[in-house]
Amino acid sequence: WVSRQFGMTAQEQLTCGCHVHVSVESDEEGVAVLDRIRLWLPVLTAMSANSPFWQGEDTGYGSYRSRVWNRLPAAGPVDVFGSADRYHAEVRAMVGSGVLRDTGMIWFDARLSASYPTVEVRVADVCLDASTPVLLAALVRALVETAAREWRAGDPPARVSTGLLRLASWQAGRSGLDGPLLHPGTLRETAPEAAVDALYRHVGDALADSGDEELVRAGIAGLLEHGNGARVQRRLLRSEGDLASVVRHCARRTTAGAGPGADAGTPAAVRWRA
């Protein structure tokens, strides 16, 4: 069915993403969280970017996976829903349209899980080092907690258009951590370390309460200094000379459990201070 419905898009959907689930107390809380985290998700794409190559070529993107994935009809950023009832009505209407087969094809950047009592954040690439998804998990948990606190306090979500969020998402996929991002607060171009710092400060209280503050501070500093997977892969291509060698190096790195410190000898391209 998928092959017939989506044609070449399905055939070229050779991507894997990293999804983070965080439990919520109810669908109402979950939708309130979705409405309040949408501004911050492109920063997570940039941090996790690990797919610079496609069909043997450098794409010019840090996360080309995100561009391939967003060809699908229900993928990407979504509007503010305002309530669980509105969220579920939108999902029913989308499935009822016939374009999608079932709720598993609700491919929003973040959604209520169809299988678990969680918010599911779906914007990250599969990362080169295990330390990066650990960092992402801590940040996503803090984002969800921060959003839930805002909802309980009666703070409304930012009414930023989905069109602007699509630009932020595209820019994050294009730049990774090696070019400008759209600042989550202003939606204007800014340096990647400034966007990451804004995210860190936004969730600071939740990180402190969960005991993740030092882990995240160190993880961000290491990621900005040594690079995400996209930067590392490009550096490997320059030194190794061909993509087959890059793949072999990445496989060895994964199985050996090498972290960002494996590239400690690489000159720092950027600096970040919390």
User: What ranges do the domains of the chain cover?
Assistant: 17-259
- Helices then strands, counting H and E runs in the chain, come out as 13, 7
Residue type, 117: P
Q: Minimal CA–CA distance to 189: which of 206, 204, 172? A: 172
Ramachandran area for residue 154 (φ above 0: left; ψ -120 to 50: alpha; else beta): left
Q: Which CATH architecture has domain 17-259?
A: 2-Layer Sandwich (3.30)
Q: What is the C-alpha separation between 271 and 223, in angstroms, rounded?
A: 10
Contact by Cβ (8 Å): 271, 258? no
Per-residue pLDDT for the chain (274 aa), expressed as one digit of tens each?
Answer: 999 999 999 988 889 999 999 999 999 999 999 999 999 999 999 999 999 999 999 999 999 999 999 999 999 999 999 999 999 999 999 999 999 999 999 999 999 998 999 999 999 999 998 899 999 999 999 999 999 999 999 999 999 999 999 999 999 999 999 999 999 999 999 999 999 999 999 999 999 999 999 999 999 999 999 999 999 999 999 999 999 999 999 998 878 754 444 443 333 333 344 4
